[in-house]
Structure 1
Amino acid sequence: MTDYTASLPRKRMGAGVLLSDHRGRVLLVEPTYTDYWEIPGGAVEADESPYAAAVREVDEELGLPLRPGRLLVTDWVPPRPDRTEGLMLLFDGGLLTPEQTDRIQLPAEELRSWAWCTEHEATDRLSDLLSRRITAAIRARADGSPAYLENGYPVP
């Protein structure tokens, strides 16, 4: 018997983690492969859960073994000429202690630097899409309700 689900469309998935310091700033990383900054995270691999991907990516990118908290944002991103459609998930990484911050180690081949940024500073460094997603994640964390977005915009 044929597995019907094997014929269904597949979507690209990504998972990231919103990390903050005691001043409410968010942690951004500067990739070597793009002009825009990002949050820690990346592609969900085959047969990997989005949560497991978030844990793995924070460990790979920052050298920090963390267990993120609840889901803050689900964002469906439509296809465009250079990229397939995708589903992006952001988890709440909570507050990093100064001790954790001191232990951050970046993979030099992937990331140039990292920085704590206010929401305004983050908007200046991120792509428009990721800026909208991070703003929604900050709001979701504050009000306790997860956000559903399409292309970074809230959907009622």
Structure 2
Amino acid sequence: MTGKIVSCGTVLLDPAGRVLLAHATGTNHWDIPKGQGEPGETEAQSALREMVEETGIALDPSRLTDLGRYVYRRDKDLHLFVARALQDELDLSRCVCTSMFPRREDGVMIPEMDAWRWIAPAEVAQYASRSLTRLFETTLSLAQLHRML
């Protein structure tokens, strides 16, 4: 056992091959919906729960394709799934984040994510963290995932 944290997430692609990224409140970075599993959850259950908590989008488990586990950072691996967004999931104005955390300055509870965007593969580096950008640029090609779905 490596002792690494494993974060489970979903790479949700729209029909044009853009990826859904959510803005982490109070930061300047965007990320795929992901997070650590809860006791008793499978990786897929964790990824689906995180998607609902961070976007309000509920995916049927049958739509997920398991991509496996990837090295992400020294302290964290990602177990990722991919799915294609359906027509009624493309309108990101309907997204809502129910996952809350205390704001550093004053402890007020605020949503973990506060904005959502469809990002073209070529634009990922402008939004995402270095770790996520590196993953998509070196190991997990968004263009290949788009063709696969």
- Tell me the equivalent position of 1:131: 133
- Tell me the equivalent position of 1:41: 34
Tell me, in whole angstroms, the C-alpha distance in 2 between the residues paired with 1:16 and 1:129. Answer: 14
Over residues 9-61 of structure 1, what are the superposed CA-to-partner deviations in whole Å (9 max), with x where a residue is unaligned?
53311011111212211110001143211011111223322111001011111
Contact preservation (8 Å) 1:30, 1:113? yes
Aligned residue identity for 2:130: D
2:145 to 141, 146, 151: 141
* 1:114 maps onto 2:116 in alignment: yes
Tell me, in whole angstroms, the C-alpha distance in 2 between the residues paired with 1:15 and 1:137. Answer: 18
Alignment of 1:59-98 (within 5 A): 59-66=52-59, 67=61, 68-79=63-74, 85-97=75-87
Instruction: Give me the TM-score of the superposition, normalised by structure 2.
Output: 0.74
Structure 2 unaligned blocks of 5 or more: 99-109
Tell me, in whole angstroms, the C-alpha distance in 2 between the residues paired with 1:90 and 1:21. Answer: 17
The percent identity for this pair of structures is 28
Aligned residue identity for 1:69: L
Instruction: Give me the TM-score of the superposition, normalised by structure 1.
Output: 0.72
Aligned residue identity for 2:77: L
Q: Which has the larger radius of gyration?
A: 1
Cα RMSD after superposing both structures:
2.2
* 1:105 maps onto 2:96 in alignment: yes
Tell me, in whole angstroms, the C-alpha distance in 2 between the residues paired with 1:39 and 1:120. Answer: 16
Aligned residue identity for 1:86: K
